[in-house]
Amino acid sequence: MTGWRAHAALVAASVVGAAVFLWPFLGGGQPGAATAASFGIGTAAALASVELAAGRLDTRQLALLAALAALDSAARAVVVTGIGGFSPIFLLILCGGYIFGAEYGFLLGATTILVSALVTGGLGPWLPYQLFAAGWVGALAGLAGRGRRGRPTRRDVVVLAAAGAVLGYGFGAVMDIWNWTFYQASPGLGFHPGMPVGVALAHFARFYAVTSFVYDSFRAVGNAVMVAVLGAPVLVALARLRARLHADVERVPQSAPFSNNVA
C-alpha cells in the first residue's frame, strides 16, 4: 500500500465530513447524534488504519500522536473557554500538521478533540462535528507545510501564523453550521428543514456575521499570536522528532544485497 492511498483516504474522510456538515443545505436537518458520532469516530479510525497499513504511521508515531493529544487536552482543561473563541488547543494541532503532514494533522486534530472531550467532560452531540473541524485544521496546516524543507525558519512561522488565523475563522464557520440548525426563531436568520439551498446559504451567512464573526476573531488572532510567540521552538522540536522517526533507506546495488545504508 502506497502513500497515494493514504491521501485518497483523507479525501474520502473529508467527503464524509463535508456531507455531515452540508446536510442542512440539502433540505434536511443535521443527522442524528449517533449517526454523526459513528461517521466521525469511524472515519478517523479508518484513516488511522490506512496510515498504519501504508507504513506511514508506525508505533512510535502513534505514541507521539497520543502524547501530543494528551498534552493538548491538558492545555484545554486549563483554559476550556479562553477569551471569546480562543483556545490553546490549536497550537499543537497547527504545528503538528505543518511538520508531519496533512494525514497526521487530521488524526492529531481529531484525536485531540476526542481525548479532551473525555478529560473535560465535553461529550455531547457536537463532538463529531468538532472532530471533523479540528481534523481539517490539522490537515490544512499540513498542506500549508508541504513545501517546507530542512530546519523550520521564520518564513515557516509566518506561513503557519497566517494559516492559523484563516483556520480560526474556518473552524468557527463550520461549527456554526451545527449551531445554526438549532436557531429557528428569526425568519431572516434561522434554519428550517426544506429550505432552498440559496435561501439556506443566505440565512447562514447572516447568522454567522451577526452571531459569530467577532467571537471567531478572538480565535483567529489567538492562533496567529500563539504561533508567532511559541511556534518557532515547537516547530523545531517537532521537526527533530520527525527526523528521528523517519529513516530514509537508500537503494543499494544488486551486487551488495545485504548492505543497507540508512540515513
Question: How far is residue 11's CA from residue 4's CA, in Å, rounded to a whole number?
Answer: 11
Cβ burial of 175 (10 Å; 0-12, 13-18, 19+) is buried
Of the chain, the percentage scoring pLDDT greater than 90 comes to 35
Cβ burial of 228 (10 Å; 0-12, 13-18, 19+) is middle
25 vs 56, more confident: 25
User: How far is the first Cα of the chain from the last one, in angstroms, to the nearest whole number?
Assistant: 23
Question: How far is residue 169's CA from residue 85's CA, in Å, rounded to a whole number?
Answer: 10
Residue 231 has what pLDDT?
95
Among residues 110, 108, 120, 124, the alpha carbon closest in space to that of 76 is found at 120
Q: What residues contact 176, with CB distance under 8 A and at least 6 apart?
A: 204, 207, 208, 211, 212
Q: State yes or no: pLDDT of 244 exceeds 60.
A: yes
pLDDT digits (tens, 9 = 90+) for 142-195: 999 987 878 899 999 999 999 999 999 999 999 998 888 877 767 778 888 788
Mean pLDDT, rounded, of the chain: 80
Q: Are 178 and 129 in contact (CB under 8 A)?
A: yes
Give the type of residue at 146.
R
Q: How confident is the model at residue 44 (pLDDT cuts 50, 70, 90)?
A: low
CA distances from 163 to 11, 24, 27, 137, 171 (A): 20, 27, 32, 9, 12
Per domain, the residue ranges of the chain are 3-245
| Chain centre distance of CA 147 | 19
Q: How confident is the model at residue 21 (pLDDT cuts 50, 70, 90)?
A: confident
Q: How confident is the model at residue 24 (pLDDT cuts 50, 70, 90)?
A: confident
137 vs 254, more confident: 137
Question: How far is residue 44's CA from residue 10's CA, in Å, rounded to a whole number?
Answer: 9
Q: Are 102 and 6 in contact (CB under 8 A)?
A: no
pTM value surpassing 0.85: no
Residue 1 has what pLDDT?
39
Q: Which grid cell is 21?
A: 456538515
Q: State yes or no: pLDDT of 229 exceeds 50.
A: yes
Q: State yes or no: pLDDT of 260 exceeds 70.
A: no
Residue 148 dihedral angles phi and psi, to the nearest 5° = -70, 140
Q: Which grid cell is 126?
A: 457536537
Q: Taking residues 209-215, what's their average pLDDT?
A: 91
CA distances from 33 to 38, 45, 69, 123, 125 (A): 9, 18, 24, 11, 5
Kindly provide the residue ranges of all beta strands, DSSP E only, lying in 79-138, ordered along the sequence: none
Q: Are 160 and 93 in contact (CB under 8 A)?
A: no
Secondary structure in 3-state letters for 190-206: CCCCCCCHHHHHHHHHH
Question: How far is residue 205's CA from residue 111's CA, in Å, rounded to a whole number?
Answer: 30
Containing 117, the helix (H) or strand (E) segment is: helix 102-120
Q: Are 155 and 86 in contact (CB under 8 A)?
A: no
